[in-house]
Amino acid sequence: MIGIEIHQRIDSCKLFCNCPSLIMENESDAKLTRRLHPVYSELGEVDVASKREFERERTFEYLAYKECNCLVEADEEPPHFMNPDALGIALEIAMHLNCKPVDEIHIMRKIIIDGSNTSGFQRTAIIAMNGELKTAKGLVRIPQISIEEESAGIVESKDNSQSKQNTSTFRLDRLGIPLIEITTDPDIKDKEHLHEVAEKIGMIMRATGKVARGLGTIRQDLNVSIEGGARVEIKGAQELKMLPVLAELEENRQRGLLAIISELTKKFKGKLYFEKEITDVTEVFSETQSKMIRAGLDSGAKVFGIRLPHHSGFLGKELQPNKRYGTELSDYAKSAGVKGIIHSDEEMGKYSISSSDLSKLWEKLKMKEDDAFALVVAEEKTAIKALENVWARATTDFIPNETRRANPDGTTSYMRPMPGRARLYPETDVPPIRVTDELISSVESGKSDSLDEKRKKLQKMLNSEMAEVMIKSRNLPLFEKLTARFKKTEPMLIASTLENTLVSLRREGFELKDVPSTLDDLFSNYESGLFVKSAISEILKLVTKGASVQSAVKEGKLQRITGKELQKIAKENGNDLQKIMQKYRLNVDPSELSKSKK
């Protein structure tokens, strides 16, 4: 079963301050250094995900930009009111998805102490509920739509072995940009269906023309579960086409884990459990040739090991391409701040661990025939914590609910336990927002056409093939703008310029810098009769080299030949239509020519 969560940036100022939503390319103007700690929710619970995060000693650095950051993003000023433009756009999208706006919006703080928010939480609020999406394979329910703040973008994460501290650096330009989050129920039937749902929701949002475009402005998270498995959330899939791959590989992972759990349970005679025995094995490696261990020992680290009874052979079982059960344990160890684990199903040669090291280790850990081990090289406290995590994961006899990160190859890595409700508590700095009838009707009056309405309109303007291309196109808002402005120009010409001419020019290496203003210039000169349709491609080529449309026409001798001049040419060429068009294809409108002949 698959559900999807789509996060789309809204095209407006930031959600809780008046900063513009900009992604900066210049150097940052200021740097802040902060630390975070876990807190209790209104129900008196501490969220398991944030507790796990706090186990690492972390310092956060934030790069701030004068142009798009203020004291709100610096967590030095309380949030202002929720941006009414952003809320209006989110409500409009909710209406297009048949959701019912809630009667009162309560802004919540979602605790996230990985540093991606200066405050230690993300502000989020449900704005509408109980919607549905019609698809080829039936209805997909949309239980909720929220509006939330974009997080800060990570720049780098560094471990300082001397201070035993991790320092992560984030940039604040992105922080606070409004996002709409659309969540579906696990109604998605298969991979094709997943593609359809994700694409359709994306199109519905883009059809409003009020959401941000470009790389990173939309993100999809998946919820995948199989019978007997767990609900696993996969975050950060950037490309639509990766979603089916992620879903399939996650289903495989859960199936593989179920098989491992069932076999291990047999080996443990009914209950997968063993005592936690974490041993300092540093002395085993006092003479080691392993460069990696040597380097650790030289910097003051220790080697700790844990015996994993009956686990021999299991750690090497592949769950996803190049991801083994050992990788699962290693990911849990990493969350305590180590770089990874060395386990007994690995080739010891790759660490240059000698057989004498190994036999000493077996002795020290009191290993038996079918046992496995895991080692970590780290400072004592971190090492013990890491192996405790390994033990806790290895003695879990079910698939844990997790949040996992999407890797570019479609596999996933453990990020944190699935956060629970304890992660959310009210944002007391912003009062609840009553969704009044006035608010609803003002959103309705400014509402853009729905996707279906748009499709009908396009079908009237274009042939059915081009209409379908245009409805899915990123260029749709620009097409709408251009057709509204240039009423004398055939919509088909505008559409094919956007979808065909520009694409083939790009393929030939001609890239327009500013498409909207160039096309504006192009079609206004076209309407004044400066050139004919067939010259467009040549004109645009010259524009990519820095010319204006008018100078490109002059330079390329692409002026339209019309009226008396055209009659003269026709006479000179004996009114041979074919001959004239061969010579003057880029200057003559064939329909005028055929008229003038008559």
Judge contact between 563 and 591, C-beta under 8 A.
Answer: no
Min CB(37)–other proteins separation in Å: 6
Q: At what angle do helices 191-207 and 476-485 cross, to 10 degrees?
A: 30
Q: What is the C-alpha separation between 576 and 598, in angstroms, rounded?
A: 13
Task: Give whichever of 96 and 423 is closer to other proteins, judged by the CB atom.
Answer: 423
Task: Give whichever of 125 and 390 is closer to other proteins, judged by the CB atom.
Answer: 125
What distance lies between CA 462 and its chain's CA centroid?
33
Min CB(167)–other proteins separation in Å: 12
Judge contact between 335 and 414, C-beta under 8 A.
Answer: yes
SS3 state of residue 459: helix
Task: Give whichever of 148 and 251 is closer to other proteins, judged by the CB atom.
Answer: 148
Min CB(102)–other proteins separation in Å: 5
Judge contact between 165 and 57, C-beta under 8 A.
Answer: yes
Min CB(419)–other proteins separation in Å: 8
Min CB(453)–other proteins separation in Å: 25
Pairing of strands 402-406, 342-343: unpaired
| The two three-digit tokens of residue 452, written as one number | 């279906």
Task: Give whichever of 173 and 181 is closer to other proteins, judged by the CB atom.
Answer: 181
Task: Give whichever of 8 and 124 is closer to other proteins, judged by the CB atom.
Answer: 124
Min CB(424)–other proteins separation in Å: 3
Task: Give whichever of 11 and 53 is closer to other proteins, judged by the CB atom.
Answer: 53
HEC string of 559-597? CCCCHHHHHHHHHHCCCCHHHHHHHHCCCCCHHHHHHHH
What distance lies between CA 84 and its chain's CA centroid?
25
Task: Give whichever of 113 and 257 is closer to other proteins, judged by the CB atom.
Answer: 113
| The two three-digit tokens of residue 551, written as one number | 């100078």
Min CB(218)–other proteins separation in Å: 22
SS3 state of residue 207: helix
SS3 state of residue 375: strand
Task: Give whichever of 99 and 272 is closer to other proteins, judged by the CB atom.
Answer: 99
Min CB(153)–other proteins separation in Å: 18
Beta pairing partners, 131: 142
SS3 state of residue 515: helix
Min CB(319)–other proteins separation in Å: 28
- Taking every pair of Cα atoms in the chain, the longest distance, rounded to a whole number of angstroms, is 105
Beta pairing partners, 278: 306
Q: What is the C-alpha separation between 350 and 485, in angstroms, rounded?
A: 66
Judge contact between 211 and 256, C-beta under 8 A.
Answer: no
Task: Give whichever of 121 and 523 is closer to other proteins, judged by the CB atom.
Answer: 121
Q: What residues make contact with other proteins under the rule CB under 8 A?
A: 32-42, 50, 59, 71, 74-78, 100, 102-106, 108-111, 113, 118-121, 124-126, 129-130, 144, 146, 420-426, 428, 431-432, 434
Task: Give whichever of 216 and 420 is closer to other proteins, judged by the CB atom.
Answer: 420
Going by C-alpha positions, the residue among 298, 392, 381, 291 that lies closest to residue 342 is 291
Min CB(20)–other proteins separation in Å: 22
Contacts of 513 (CB under 8 A, 6+ apart): 544
What distance lies between CA 342 and its chain's CA centroid?
32
The number of C-alpha atoms within 13 Å of 196 and in the hemisphere containing its C-beta is 15
Beta pairing partners, 303: 377
- Give phi and psi for 134, each to the nearest 5: -80, 130
Min CB(23)–other proteins separation in Å: 23
Task: Give whichever of 70 and 478 is closer to other proteins, judged by the CB atom.
Answer: 70
Going by C-alpha positions, the residue among 207, 196, 242, 204 that lies closest to residue 221 is 242
Min CB(144)–other proteins separation in Å: 8
Task: Give whichever of 64 and 390 is closer to other proteins, judged by the CB atom.
Answer: 64
